Amino acid sequence: MLNQMRRGASGWVAKVFLGALAVSFVGWGIADVLRSPGTGHSVLTAGDTSVTVREYQEAYQQGLNRLAQQLQRRPNAEEAEMRGVDQSVLAQLTAGALLDEKARQVGLGVSDDGLVSLIQQEQAFRDGSGNFSRTAMASVLRNVGMTEAMYLDDLRRSASRNQLVASLSDGAAAPAAFAEALGTYTGERRTVNYVTLQPTPADEIADPAVDELDDFFTEHHDDYRAPEYRGFSYVLLSPAAVADATAVTDEQVSAYYETNKARFTTPERRQIEQVVFPNREAADKAAAAIAGGATLADAAAAAGLPVADLGLVPRTAIPNAVLADAAFSAAPNVPTAVVDGPFGPVILLAKTVTAEVVKPLDEAREEIRATVALDAANAKVTAAYTTINEALTSGAALSEAATQAGLTVQVVEPIDRSAQTQAGVKIADIPSEATVLPAVFSADPGAETTPVNFDGNSYVFFALGDIVPARDRKMDEVTERVTADWKRDEAQRLVEERAQALAERVRKGETFAAMAEVEGLIVQSANFVTRDSGPAVLGQAGTRAAFSGSQGTTAHGPALASGEAIVLQVAEVAEPADPLSNVAPNLRQSLDDTVREDLFQSYVAALQAATPVSYNFAAINQAKVGVR
């Protein structure tokens, strides 16, 4: 949640912070002043900037969460240390503190108006109508354990860091020579002749001997292991789940409509043209010509000036109030008098006028009813969250807590991490499955669980049920499946052997066409394929084979369709005429981002060398214990 709320202020910098930056710091080591003072409120200090225990605990918890997603379970303290969570978190916080200290030294900051703008852009703080909601903001911050002051301080620092980094790296780009080399690589086109070999059908392959099947089962034992299954019960708490449109009265609908009438109004729009003159004399001369019957275009041409078409726009699209008043008060197709604009005298012309349209209340009624219900639901969610949380904290079961909040508990039978039951049936209606299931499988049996937050102000409270541990299956449980897999692998081995033999015949002098004719195979051609387009025709392995050598190269490999094999020969190689045209804009942007990340890391390394950093390891150790 906090990462999402910071995203609006950090842009691509967040990616650097959470990725390459932490890795590079761990690689460099922390070679500043290493001392371990007594416990206190700060875990590290860079110059006059400190990182608090709370900030460390928040970052460390996020590091544990990322590791839990990788392991699909909650890591213990030893695993977290072995995976370097504490080191990467300390490196991340050190980098942030160095940037904050530099921003402080040079006087960087963000104004209150700028801070308000960032807050209003945050999606999590919007109501059902898409508008910023103070109530939603308070609810989200309360649920993640932040005060408004804490959030504003965090956002202000993120914005200052972004300004500092932007001044360093904006405009940096990858060298043109590198992009050209990449374009040559990706733009090379090849024409390839190939034949496709079909695998032997499984029913034509004899069953394996007992020892062959046993060996195959032993070699692929993990593939047949039964996964862990977990049952759980849950309560869904979301605005959509608790919203009750039937409870919204007609009076509430009417009041909302009158208060928010602008939402249902399409303003008047005008096709505006304008001519900006260098001085008043030129403008008056043009106005006189228009009064004599000339058009605005004629008058502009006589003055050697262009006619600017502003398009079909509402009044708000014209930032200057004087010009907007003139354009929207003029009669259609009648040029205005000379108007003093910010860049010189102006004559405007409204060519097309689209009248204001107000959606009637009856047409907007159901939309308003749903919106009002969702707005009210946000308050219900906050109240229900508090009720359930307090009940659970007091020792109540989830079912009892749900009853107190007026909600229903849903029970899910034991499923695996892909939401399949032991019978192989997919459970399809788990809310926010991608976030709920990892939380279920990382929860410790018997321990309190944390509600899963998703989509801003929605939550899933859950309690673990029956757990079926993962286990090794015996051969007699999966004999049919193992046999089918062995036959599939055997068919693949046979077709690959045949492909290799046919390719070798061509390499020894037999022509590709003669080989295909003898074998009764149809020669196909893939014309002008590239490394990007090849996989759609030849498959990934076939494309690698096609680009594995020069013209005349003969190769083989798996085909596009699973189980098939391909034998090919490179008939023609063509270099791109314009290499840069083969570098997509998003790829060029990615190259430029990489250069900026390198600059950023070098900059932080320089800050680290110039700024003394001290660490309070006693506070760090206590903070980690508090998180675990």
List, for residues 260-293, the tens digit of each pLDDT value: 888 898 899 999 999 999 999 999 999 999 999 9
Whether the Cβ atoms of residue 401 and residue 391 lie closer than 8 Å to each other: yes
Model confidence pLDDT, tens digit, residues 527-584: 999 998 999 999 999 999 999 999 999 999 999 888 899 999 999 999 988 888 888 8
* CA nearest neighbour of 53 among 34, 38, 39, 32: 39
| Average pLDDT for 333-339 | 93
pLDDT given for residue 20 in this prediction: 39
pLDDT band per the 50, 70, 90 thresholds, residue 210: very high
| Average pLDDT for 362-373 | 85
| Average pLDDT for 123-131 | 79
Sequence-ordered list of residues with C-beta below 8 angstroms from that of 152, at least 6 positions apart, any chain: 115
For residue 115, pLDDT over 60 is answered with yes
pLDDT given for residue 628 in this prediction: 63
Q: pTM for the full model?
A: 0.46
What's the token pair of residue 334? 């009648």
Sequence-ordered list of residues with C-beta below 8 angstroms from that of 531, at least 6 positions apart, any chain: 185, 186, 188, 543, 547
Higher pLDDT, 605 or 150: 605
Sign of CA dihedral 520, 524, 530, 531: negative
d(CA 394, CA 398) in angstroms, rounded, equals 11
For residue 74, pLDDT over 90 is answered with no
Phi and psi of 335, rounded to 5°?
-60, 145
| % pLDDT > 70, the chain | 93
* CA nearest neighbour of 43 among 34, 53, 33, 35: 53
Ranges of beta strands (E only) in 342-451 are 344-354, 357-358, 410-415
pLDDT given for residue 507 in this prediction: 96
| Average pLDDT for 604-610 | 88
What's the token pair of residue 313? 């726009």
